[in-house]
Amino acid sequence: MIRAASLAVVLSIGFLASPLRAEELSLKSAPPAVVKTIPEAGADGVSSQVNEIKVTFSKDMQDESWSWSTFSVDTFPTNAGKPKYLPDKRTCVLPVKLEPGKVYAIWVNSEKFTNFKDADGQPAVPYLLVFKTKK
């Protein structure tokens, strides 16, 4: 069984294997990547009282641009408001309503949807956030 964090690493490595050559890679040229999530990927026993999901990226991001995508309809949380970026320009917050004893899986960007973009318009590396709420 592949853990969510392992899957994210595999996806990140595959996504970064692009035409960009090693000597051209810099902090500016690299695509933004998820560096932190709340709840944490792979967490078991998350409180169903949590009312927002936070994703922090490695770079400043474009406001009003995001792709919170479904892994499946059954594993996507109920939306409880409009997403927004915090003043740090790197953390996006999705208001949600969670249910007890449920596994959630949310794509932050995906193969089809790439609207999480850095300030220069470069799409973020797709990331699958998976966690479970306690009963």
The CATH code of the domain that includes 99 is 2.60.40.1220
Q: From CA 29, how far away is CA 10, in angstroms rounded?
A: 20
Q: How many structural domains are present in the chain? A: 1
- Per-residue model confidence as pLDDT tens digits over 36-62: 999 999 999 999 999 999 999 999 999
Provide CB contacts within 8 A for 80, sequence distance 6+. 51, 95, 96, 97
Which of 3-7, 26-30, 73-77 comes out lowest in average pLDDT?
Answer: 3-7
pLDDT of residue 20: 63
pLDDT of residue 18: 55
Q: Which domain holds residue 112?
A: 4-133
- Per the confidence metrics, is the pTM higher than 0.85? no
What rounded mean pLDDT belongs to the chain?
A: 89
